[in-house]
Structure 1
Protein backbone atom coordinates (compact mmCIF):
# COMPACT_ATOMS: atom_id res chain seq x y z
CA UNK A 1 0.00 0.00 0.00
CA UNK A 2 2.98 2.31 0.46
CA UNK A 3 4.59 4.22 -2.36
CA UNK A 4 8.15 3.72 -3.47
CA UNK A 5 9.63 7.00 -4.63
CA UNK A 6 11.99 6.87 -7.60
CA UNK A 7 15.72 7.49 -7.50
CA UNK A 8 15.08 10.90 -9.07
CA UNK A 9 12.77 11.75 -6.17
CA UNK A 10 15.39 10.76 -3.60
CA UNK A 11 18.17 12.59 -5.44
CA UNK A 12 16.12 15.79 -5.54
CA UNK A 13 15.02 15.42 -1.91
CA UNK A 14 18.62 14.92 -0.73
CA UNK A 15 19.83 17.81 -2.90
CA UNK A 16 17.23 20.10 -1.31
CA UNK A 17 18.25 18.94 2.17
CA UNK A 18 21.92 19.53 1.30
CA UNK A 19 21.11 23.07 0.13
CA UNK A 20 19.35 23.83 3.41
CA UNK A 21 22.17 22.28 5.44
CA UNK A 22 24.78 24.30 3.55
CA UNK A 23 22.75 27.48 4.12
CA UNK A 24 22.44 26.70 7.83
CA UNK A 25 26.13 26.04 8.25
CA UNK A 26 27.20 29.18 6.38
CA UNK A 27 24.74 31.37 8.29
CA UNK A 28 25.87 30.04 11.67
CA UNK A 29 29.56 30.72 11.16
CA UNK A 30 30.68 27.39 9.75
CA UNK A 31 29.32 24.91 12.26
CA UNK A 32 26.18 23.45 13.71
CA UNK A 33 25.05 24.36 17.20
CA UNK A 34 23.24 22.28 19.80
CA UNK A 35 20.05 24.13 18.84
CA UNK A 36 20.52 22.97 15.23
CA UNK A 37 20.78 19.38 16.43
CA UNK A 38 17.61 19.76 18.54
CA UNK A 39 15.86 21.19 15.50
CA UNK A 40 16.99 18.24 13.40
CA UNK A 41 15.75 15.79 16.05
CA UNK A 42 12.40 17.60 16.11
CA UNK A 43 12.26 17.36 12.33
CA UNK A 44 12.69 13.58 12.50
CA UNK A 45 9.99 13.23 15.17
CA UNK A 46 7.57 15.41 13.20
CA UNK A 47 8.33 13.55 9.97
CA UNK A 48 7.48 10.27 11.69
CA UNK A 49 4.24 11.76 13.01
CA UNK A 50 3.24 13.16 9.62
CA UNK A 51 4.04 9.84 7.95
CA UNK A 52 1.92 7.89 10.39
CA UNK A 53 -0.87 10.46 10.08
CA UNK A 54 -0.76 10.11 6.29
CA UNK A 55 -0.98 6.34 6.57
CA UNK A 56 -3.92 6.57 8.94
CA UNK A 57 -5.66 9.09 6.65
CA UNK A 58 -5.90 6.34 4.04
CA UNK A 59 -8.23 4.35 6.29
CA UNK A 60 -9.96 6.99 8.44
CA UNK A 61 -11.12 10.59 7.96
CA UNK A 62 -8.55 13.34 8.54
CA UNK A 63 -10.56 14.88 11.39
CA UNK A 64 -10.31 11.59 13.28
CA UNK A 65 -6.58 11.33 12.62
CA UNK A 66 -5.85 14.76 14.05
CA UNK A 67 -8.44 14.31 16.81
CA UNK A 68 -6.82 11.13 18.09
CA UNK A 69 -3.34 12.64 17.71
CA UNK A 70 -4.40 15.53 19.94
CA UNK A 71 -5.90 13.16 22.52
CA UNK A 72 -2.74 11.04 22.65
CA UNK A 73 -0.47 14.12 22.85
CA UNK A 74 -2.49 15.84 25.58
CA UNK A 75 -0.52 14.35 28.53
CA UNK A 76 2.77 15.41 26.97
CA UNK A 77 1.41 18.88 26.15
CA UNK A 78 0.10 19.44 29.67
CA UNK A 79 3.37 18.18 31.17
CA UNK A 80 5.29 20.75 29.11
CA UNK A 81 2.80 23.59 29.56
CA UNK A 82 2.52 23.50 33.34
CA UNK A 83 6.17 24.35 34.09
CA UNK A 84 6.12 27.00 31.34
CA UNK A 85 3.22 28.77 33.09
CA UNK A 86 5.44 29.53 36.07
CA UNK A 87 7.75 31.51 33.78
CA UNK A 88 5.06 33.19 31.68
CA UNK A 89 1.75 33.53 33.52
CA UNK A 90 -1.48 33.57 31.53
CA UNK A 91 -3.41 36.81 31.22
CA UNK A 92 -6.77 35.94 29.71
CA UNK A 93 -8.36 38.63 27.60
CA UNK A 94 -11.05 38.34 24.94
CA UNK A 95 -8.37 38.94 22.31
CA UNK A 96 -6.08 36.19 23.62
CA UNK A 97 -8.89 33.65 24.00
CA UNK A 98 -10.16 34.31 20.45
CA UNK A 99 -6.58 34.00 19.16
CA UNK A 100 -6.05 30.72 20.99
CA UNK A 101 -9.35 29.30 19.73
CA UNK A 102 -8.48 30.28 16.15
CA UNK A 103 -5.04 28.68 16.36
CA UNK A 104 -6.44 25.51 17.93
CA UNK A 105 -9.62 25.06 15.91
CA UNK A 106 -8.99 26.91 12.67
CA UNK A 107 -5.34 26.89 11.89
CA UNK A 108 -4.36 23.61 13.50
CA UNK A 109 -7.37 21.30 13.50
CA UNK A 110 -9.00 22.31 10.19
CA UNK A 111 -5.65 22.83 8.50
CA UNK A 112 -4.44 19.38 9.48
CA UNK A 113 -7.71 17.76 8.38
CA UNK A 114 -7.06 19.12 4.88
CA UNK A 115 -3.36 18.27 5.10
CA UNK A 116 -3.99 14.62 5.98
CA UNK A 117 -6.58 14.32 3.22
CA UNK A 118 -4.01 15.72 0.79
CA UNK A 119 -1.33 13.30 1.98
CA UNK A 120 -3.71 10.38 1.50
CA UNK A 121 -4.55 11.64 -2.01
CA UNK A 122 -1.09 12.48 -3.44
CA UNK A 123 1.07 10.21 -1.29
CA UNK A 124 3.13 10.85 1.80
CA UNK A 125 6.52 11.35 0.09
CA UNK A 126 5.25 13.96 -2.37
CA UNK A 127 3.21 15.79 0.26
CA UNK A 128 6.21 15.87 2.58
CA UNK A 129 8.39 17.43 -0.11
CA UNK A 130 5.66 19.90 -1.01
CA UNK A 131 5.61 21.09 2.58
CA UNK A 132 9.20 22.29 2.14
CA UNK A 133 7.73 25.32 0.39
CA UNK A 134 6.37 26.54 3.74
CA UNK A 135 9.66 28.07 4.99
CA UNK A 136 10.08 29.73 1.60
CA UNK A 137 6.67 31.34 1.95
CA UNK A 138 7.69 32.46 5.44
CA UNK A 139 10.71 34.22 3.91
CA UNK A 140 8.49 35.99 1.36
CA UNK A 141 5.97 37.10 4.00
CA UNK A 142 8.74 38.26 6.36
CA UNK A 143 10.08 40.55 3.64
CA UNK A 144 6.67 41.81 2.51
CA UNK A 145 4.99 42.22 5.89
CA UNK A 146 7.85 42.79 8.31
CA UNK A 147 10.42 44.50 6.12
CA UNK A 148 13.08 41.85 6.78
CA UNK A 149 16.31 42.11 4.83
CA UNK A 150 17.68 38.86 3.45
CA UNK A 151 21.22 37.93 2.59
CA UNK A 152 21.88 36.88 -1.00
CA UNK A 153 22.18 33.28 0.19
CA UNK A 154 18.55 33.10 1.36
CA UNK A 155 16.81 33.59 -2.01
CA UNK A 156 19.46 31.47 -3.75
CA UNK A 157 18.85 28.63 -1.32
CA UNK A 158 15.09 29.14 -1.66
CA UNK A 159 15.36 28.87 -5.45
CA UNK A 160 17.43 25.69 -5.17
CA UNK A 161 14.89 24.15 -2.80
CA UNK A 162 12.01 25.14 -5.12
CA UNK A 163 13.74 23.40 -8.03
CA UNK A 164 14.20 20.29 -5.88
CA UNK A 165 10.53 20.40 -4.84
CA UNK A 166 9.47 20.68 -8.51
CA UNK A 167 11.61 17.65 -9.40
CA UNK A 168 10.13 15.56 -6.56
CA UNK A 169 6.60 16.48 -7.64
CA UNK A 170 7.25 15.47 -11.24
CA UNK A 171 9.11 12.23 -10.50
CA UNK A 172 7.28 8.94 -10.77
CA UNK A 173 6.81 6.62 -7.82
Structure 2
Protein backbone atom coordinates (compact mmCIF):
# COMPACT_ATOMS: atom_id res chain seq x y z
CA UNK A 1 0.00 0.00 0.00
CA UNK A 2 2.84 2.37 0.82
CA UNK A 3 4.57 1.36 -2.40
CA UNK A 4 1.49 2.27 -4.46
CA UNK A 5 1.35 5.66 -2.77
CA UNK A 6 4.99 6.35 -3.61
CA UNK A 7 4.44 5.39 -7.23
CA UNK A 8 1.34 7.48 -7.81
CA UNK A 9 1.66 10.48 -5.52
CA UNK A 10 4.06 12.57 -7.70
CA UNK A 11 1.90 12.17 -10.81
CA UNK A 12 -1.26 12.79 -8.78
CA UNK A 13 0.19 15.94 -7.23
CA UNK A 14 1.28 17.21 -10.65
CA UNK A 15 -2.16 16.53 -12.13
CA UNK A 16 -3.92 18.19 -9.18
CA UNK A 17 -1.67 21.23 -9.46
CA UNK A 18 -2.55 21.45 -13.14
CA UNK A 19 -6.28 21.41 -12.40
CA UNK A 20 -5.95 24.00 -9.62
CA UNK A 21 -3.92 26.36 -11.81
CA UNK A 22 -6.29 25.86 -14.73
CA UNK A 23 -9.31 26.53 -12.53
CA UNK A 24 -7.82 29.77 -11.22
CA UNK A 25 -7.09 30.85 -14.78
CA UNK A 26 -10.67 30.18 -15.88
CA UNK A 27 -12.08 32.12 -12.92
CA UNK A 28 -9.87 35.10 -13.82
CA UNK A 29 -10.89 34.93 -17.48
CA UNK A 30 -14.56 34.69 -16.54
CA UNK A 31 -14.59 38.32 -15.41
CA UNK A 32 -12.97 39.55 -18.64
CA UNK A 33 -16.12 40.20 -20.66
CA UNK A 34 -18.04 41.91 -17.82
CA UNK A 35 -14.97 44.08 -17.09
CA UNK A 36 -14.59 44.89 -20.78
CA UNK A 37 -18.28 45.73 -20.97
CA UNK A 38 -17.82 48.29 -18.18
CA UNK A 39 -14.67 49.81 -19.69
CA UNK A 40 -15.96 50.00 -23.27
CA UNK A 41 -18.84 52.23 -22.16
CA UNK A 42 -16.36 55.08 -21.69
CA UNK A 43 -13.22 54.04 -23.56
CA UNK A 44 -12.97 53.66 -27.32
CA UNK A 45 -12.70 49.89 -27.98
CA UNK A 46 -9.67 50.31 -30.26
CA UNK A 47 -7.82 52.37 -27.64
CA UNK A 48 -8.89 49.91 -24.96
CA UNK A 49 -7.33 47.03 -26.90
CA UNK A 50 -4.01 48.79 -27.42
CA UNK A 51 -3.91 50.21 -23.88
CA UNK A 52 -4.53 46.88 -22.14
CA UNK A 53 -1.84 45.17 -24.22
CA UNK A 54 0.61 48.01 -23.56
CA UNK A 55 0.06 47.96 -19.81
CA UNK A 56 0.38 44.17 -19.70
CA UNK A 57 3.43 44.34 -21.98
CA UNK A 58 5.28 46.73 -19.68
CA UNK A 59 4.51 44.50 -16.69
CA UNK A 60 5.61 41.40 -18.62
CA UNK A 61 8.89 43.06 -19.61
CA UNK A 62 9.61 43.90 -15.96
CA UNK A 63 8.89 40.32 -14.93
CA UNK A 64 11.10 38.84 -17.67
CA UNK A 65 13.97 41.15 -16.74
CA UNK A 66 13.58 40.57 -13.00
CA UNK A 67 13.55 36.78 -13.39
CA UNK A 68 16.22 36.79 -16.12
CA UNK A 69 14.11 34.59 -18.36
CA UNK A 70 15.85 33.07 -21.37
CA UNK A 71 14.98 34.45 -24.76
CA UNK A 72 12.87 32.36 -27.13
CA UNK A 73 14.59 30.56 -29.99
CA UNK A 74 14.14 31.67 -33.58
CA UNK A 75 12.02 28.60 -34.20
CA UNK A 76 9.59 29.75 -31.51
CA UNK A 77 9.04 33.26 -32.86
CA UNK A 78 6.34 32.29 -35.35
CA UNK A 79 4.33 30.54 -32.62
CA UNK A 80 4.71 33.60 -30.39
CA UNK A 81 3.44 35.73 -33.27
CA UNK A 82 0.33 33.56 -33.55
CA UNK A 83 -0.21 33.80 -29.78
CA UNK A 84 0.08 37.59 -30.00
CA UNK A 85 -2.37 37.76 -32.91
CA UNK A 86 -4.82 35.50 -31.11
CA UNK A 87 -4.87 36.64 -27.49
CA UNK A 88 -3.02 39.97 -27.39
CA UNK A 89 -4.68 41.71 -30.35
CA UNK A 90 -7.45 39.65 -31.95
CA UNK A 91 -9.63 38.49 -29.07
CA UNK A 92 -9.46 41.72 -27.02
CA UNK A 93 -10.19 43.94 -30.03
CA UNK A 94 -13.02 41.83 -31.44
CA UNK A 95 -14.74 41.37 -28.08
CA UNK A 96 -14.43 45.08 -27.26
CA UNK A 97 -16.04 45.92 -30.60
CA UNK A 98 -18.72 43.27 -30.08
CA UNK A 99 -19.61 44.58 -26.64
CA UNK A 100 -20.68 47.84 -28.20
CA UNK A 101 -23.58 45.94 -29.75
CA UNK A 102 -24.40 43.12 -27.31
CA UNK A 103 -24.44 42.67 -23.55
CA UNK A 104 -21.71 40.72 -21.78
CA UNK A 105 -24.30 38.10 -20.78
CA UNK A 106 -25.18 37.59 -24.46
CA UNK A 107 -21.53 37.45 -25.54
CA UNK A 108 -20.59 34.99 -22.80
CA UNK A 109 -22.74 32.31 -24.44
CA UNK A 110 -20.28 32.32 -27.34
CA UNK A 111 -17.48 31.36 -24.95
CA UNK A 112 -19.01 27.89 -24.90
CA UNK A 113 -17.36 27.46 -28.29
CA UNK A 114 -13.86 28.30 -27.04
CA UNK A 115 -12.87 24.72 -26.15
CA UNK A 116 -14.09 23.61 -29.57
CA UNK A 117 -12.14 26.34 -31.32
CA UNK A 118 -9.03 25.44 -29.32
CA UNK A 119 -9.45 21.75 -30.16
CA UNK A 120 -9.96 22.50 -33.86
CA UNK A 121 -6.71 24.47 -34.05
CA UNK A 122 -4.93 21.78 -32.04
CA UNK A 123 -6.04 19.35 -34.75
CA UNK A 124 -4.86 21.65 -37.55
CA UNK A 125 -1.55 22.55 -35.93
CA UNK A 126 -0.91 19.10 -34.47
CA UNK A 127 -1.93 17.05 -37.51
CA UNK A 128 -4.38 14.89 -35.54
CA UNK A 129 -7.23 12.98 -37.21
CA UNK A 130 -10.46 13.19 -35.17
CA UNK A 131 -13.27 10.73 -35.67
CA UNK A 132 -16.38 11.69 -37.66
CA UNK A 133 -18.31 12.01 -34.39
CA UNK A 134 -16.02 14.90 -33.44
CA UNK A 135 -17.17 16.94 -36.41
CA UNK A 136 -20.80 16.00 -35.78
CA UNK A 137 -20.76 17.48 -32.29
CA UNK A 138 -18.69 20.44 -33.51
CA UNK A 139 -21.30 21.35 -36.12
CA UNK A 140 -24.14 20.73 -33.66
CA UNK A 141 -22.61 23.06 -31.09
CA UNK A 142 -22.09 25.78 -33.69
CA UNK A 143 -25.68 25.35 -34.92
CA UNK A 144 -26.98 25.82 -31.37
CA UNK A 145 -25.11 29.11 -31.02
CA UNK A 146 -26.39 30.35 -34.38
CA UNK A 147 -29.94 29.33 -33.47
CA UNK A 148 -29.65 31.22 -30.19
CA UNK A 149 -28.43 34.34 -32.00
CA UNK A 150 -31.38 34.16 -34.40
CA UNK A 151 -33.84 33.69 -31.54
CA UNK A 152 -32.48 36.85 -29.90
CA UNK A 153 -33.02 38.87 -33.06
CA UNK A 154 -30.12 38.43 -35.41
CA UNK A 155 -30.79 41.66 -37.31
CA UNK A 156 -30.43 43.67 -34.13
CA UNK A 157 -27.09 42.17 -33.10
CA UNK A 158 -25.70 40.61 -36.28
CA UNK A 159 -22.50 42.65 -36.06
CA UNK A 160 -21.96 41.83 -32.40
CA UNK A 161 -22.59 38.13 -32.92
CA UNK A 162 -20.26 37.95 -35.91
CA UNK A 163 -17.53 39.76 -34.01
CA UNK A 164 -17.89 37.32 -31.11
CA UNK A 165 -17.65 34.33 -33.44
CA UNK A 166 -14.48 35.75 -34.98
CA UNK A 167 -13.11 36.46 -31.49
CA UNK A 168 -13.68 32.87 -30.41
CA UNK A 169 -12.07 31.59 -33.59
CA UNK A 170 -8.88 33.63 -33.27
CA UNK A 171 -8.68 33.06 -29.52
CA UNK A 172 -8.76 29.31 -30.13
CA UNK A 173 -5.72 29.75 -32.35
CA UNK A 174 -3.90 31.68 -29.63
CA UNK A 175 -4.81 29.15 -26.94
CA UNK A 176 -3.77 26.12 -28.99
CA UNK A 177 -0.51 27.65 -30.16
CA UNK A 178 0.33 28.94 -26.70
CA UNK A 179 -0.44 25.59 -25.08
CA UNK A 180 1.82 23.80 -27.54
CA UNK A 181 4.63 26.30 -27.07
CA UNK A 182 4.33 26.26 -23.28
CA UNK A 183 5.71 22.70 -23.24
CA UNK A 184 9.14 23.94 -24.36
CA UNK A 185 9.21 27.63 -23.44
CA UNK A 186 7.22 27.59 -20.20
CA UNK A 187 3.69 28.76 -19.43
CA UNK A 188 4.22 32.27 -18.08
CA UNK A 189 7.06 32.93 -20.52
CA UNK A 190 4.77 32.34 -23.52
CA UNK A 191 2.32 35.14 -22.76
CA UNK A 192 5.08 37.40 -21.41
CA UNK A 193 7.18 37.18 -24.57
CA UNK A 194 4.10 37.50 -26.79
CA UNK A 195 3.21 40.73 -24.97
CA UNK A 196 6.75 42.08 -25.10
CA UNK A 197 7.06 41.36 -28.83
CA UNK A 198 3.78 43.21 -29.35
CA UNK A 199 4.65 46.11 -27.03
CA UNK A 200 6.33 48.52 -29.51
CA UNK A 201 3.40 48.34 -31.92
CA UNK A 202 0.71 48.35 -29.25
CA UNK A 203 2.20 51.26 -27.30
CA UNK A 204 2.61 53.33 -30.47
CA UNK A 205 -0.96 52.67 -31.58
CA UNK A 206 -2.29 53.39 -28.07
CA UNK A 207 -0.66 56.82 -28.18
CA UNK A 208 -2.02 57.51 -31.66
CA UNK A 209 -5.65 56.66 -30.83
CA UNK A 210 -5.61 57.93 -27.23
CA UNK A 211 -8.37 60.41 -26.42
CA UNK A 212 -7.44 64.07 -26.08
CA UNK A 213 -8.50 64.01 -22.42
CA UNK A 214 -9.29 61.36 -19.82
CA UNK A 215 -11.36 63.77 -17.76
CA UNK A 216 -14.74 62.39 -16.87
CA UNK A 217 -13.73 58.70 -17.01
CA UNK A 218 -15.45 57.04 -14.06
CA UNK A 219 -13.70 54.80 -11.51
CA UNK A 220 -15.59 51.67 -12.72
CA UNK A 221 -14.26 52.22 -16.26
CA UNK A 222 -10.70 52.61 -14.94
CA UNK A 223 -11.18 49.48 -12.85
CA UNK A 224 -12.36 47.61 -15.93
CA UNK A 225 -9.27 48.70 -17.87
CA UNK A 226 -7.02 47.77 -14.97
CA UNK A 227 -8.58 44.33 -14.58
CA UNK A 228 -8.38 43.30 -18.22
CA UNK A 229 -4.82 44.66 -18.45
CA UNK A 230 -3.33 43.04 -15.36
CA UNK A 231 -5.45 39.95 -14.84
CA UNK A 232 -7.12 39.01 -18.13
CA UNK A 233 -4.10 39.84 -20.31
CA UNK A 234 -1.28 38.64 -18.06
CA UNK A 235 -1.86 36.95 -14.70
CA UNK A 236 -4.69 34.74 -15.90
CA UNK A 237 -2.41 33.26 -18.55
CA UNK A 238 0.25 32.46 -15.94
CA UNK A 239 -2.17 30.07 -14.27
CA UNK A 240 -3.85 28.91 -17.48
CA UNK A 241 -0.74 27.90 -19.42
CA UNK A 242 0.84 26.39 -16.30
CA UNK A 243 -2.29 24.34 -15.78
CA UNK A 244 -2.21 23.11 -19.37
CA UNK A 245 1.45 22.19 -19.07
CA UNK A 246 1.06 20.27 -15.79
CA UNK A 247 -2.32 18.61 -16.26
CA UNK A 248 -2.42 18.17 -20.02
CA UNK A 249 -4.08 20.30 -22.69
CA UNK A 250 -6.96 17.92 -23.36
CA UNK A 251 -7.78 17.40 -19.69
CA UNK A 252 -7.33 20.86 -18.19
CA UNK A 253 -8.75 22.46 -21.31
CA UNK A 254 -12.13 21.09 -20.26
CA UNK A 255 -12.18 23.71 -17.50
CA UNK A 256 -12.96 26.33 -20.15
CA UNK A 257 -16.45 24.86 -20.17
CA UNK A 258 -17.05 26.44 -16.76
CA UNK A 259 -16.25 29.94 -18.01
CA UNK A 260 -19.69 30.77 -19.46
CA UNK A 261 -21.39 29.88 -16.16
CA UNK A 262 -18.99 32.00 -14.10
CA UNK A 263 -19.30 34.85 -16.58
CA UNK A 264 -23.09 34.78 -16.60
CA UNK A 265 -23.14 34.85 -12.81
CA UNK A 266 -20.77 37.83 -12.72
CA UNK A 267 -22.77 39.72 -15.37
CA UNK A 268 -25.97 39.21 -13.39
CA UNK A 269 -24.39 40.08 -10.04
CA UNK A 270 -22.28 43.14 -10.87
CA UNK A 271 -23.79 44.53 -14.07
CA UNK A 272 -27.39 43.66 -13.21
CA UNK A 273 -27.87 42.25 -16.70
CA UNK A 274 -30.75 39.93 -17.42
CA UNK A 275 -29.69 36.30 -17.63
CA UNK A 276 -32.46 34.19 -19.10
CA UNK A 277 -33.05 30.48 -18.79
CA UNK A 278 -32.52 30.31 -22.54
CA UNK A 279 -28.96 31.60 -22.14
CA UNK A 280 -28.21 28.95 -19.55
CA UNK A 281 -29.93 26.31 -21.65
CA UNK A 282 -27.93 27.09 -24.79
CA UNK A 283 -24.71 27.37 -22.82
CA UNK A 284 -25.34 23.99 -21.22
CA UNK A 285 -26.20 22.39 -24.56
CA UNK A 286 -23.06 23.80 -26.19
CA UNK A 287 -20.97 22.52 -23.30
CA UNK A 288 -22.40 19.01 -23.78
CA UNK A 289 -21.51 19.17 -27.46
CA UNK A 290 -17.97 20.33 -26.73
CA UNK A 291 -17.44 17.56 -24.17
CA UNK A 292 -18.64 14.99 -26.69
CA UNK A 293 -16.46 16.47 -29.43
CA UNK A 294 -13.43 16.36 -27.14
CA UNK A 295 -14.15 12.72 -26.37
CA UNK A 296 -13.93 11.79 -30.03
CA UNK A 297 -10.92 13.95 -30.85
CA UNK A 298 -7.99 11.62 -31.44
CA UNK A 299 -4.81 12.57 -29.64
CA UNK A 300 -1.47 11.55 -31.05
CA UNK A 301 0.60 13.50 -28.54
CA UNK A 302 1.58 12.15 -25.16
CA UNK A 303 0.83 14.37 -22.21
Q: What is the TM-score of this pair, normalised by structure 2? A: 0.45
Q: 1:103 to 1:139 in 2, by over 3 A?
A: closer
How far residue 46 of structure 1 moved from its aligned partner, in angstroms, is 2.1
Is the Cα–Cα contact under 8 Å of residues 12 and 168 in structure 1 kept in the other structure?
yes
User: Contact 1:126 / 1:169 at 8 angstroms: preserved in 2?
Assistant: no
Matched, 1:123 2:249: yes
Describe the shift of the 1:32–1:148 C-alpha distance in structure 2 as closer, same or farther (beyond 3 A).
closer
What runs of 5+ residues in structure 2 fail to find an aligned partner? 1-124, 299-303
Q: Which residue in 1 is equivalent to 2:190?
A: 65
Alignment partners' CA distance in 2, 1:36 and 1:153: 16
CA contact (8 A) 1:54 1:124 kept: no
Instruction: Count the aligned residue pairs.
Output: 170
* TM-fit CA distance, 1:113: 1.9
Aligned to 1:75: 200
SS at match of 2:202: helix
Q: Secondary structure at the residue paired with 1:59?
A: helix
Equivalent of residue 174 in structure 2, options 24, 33, 49: 49
Q: Does 1:159 align with 2:284?
A: yes
Find the counterpart in structure 1 of residue 54 from structure 2.
Answer: none
Match of 2:268 in 1: 143
Runs of at least 5 residues in structure 1 that lack an aligned partner in the other structure: none
Residue in 1 that maps onto 2:147: 22
Q: Determine the C-alpha separation between the residues in 2 that align with 1:31 and 1:103.
A: 27
Q: Which has the higher contact order (CA 8 A, sep 6+)?
A: 1
Q: Does 1:111 align with 2:236?
A: yes
Residues 51-78 of structure 1: CA deviation (Å, up to 9, x unaligned): 2111101211111101111012223422
**Stretch of structure 1 that moved more, 108-117 or 3-12:** 3-12
Q: CA deviation at 1:134?
A: 1.8
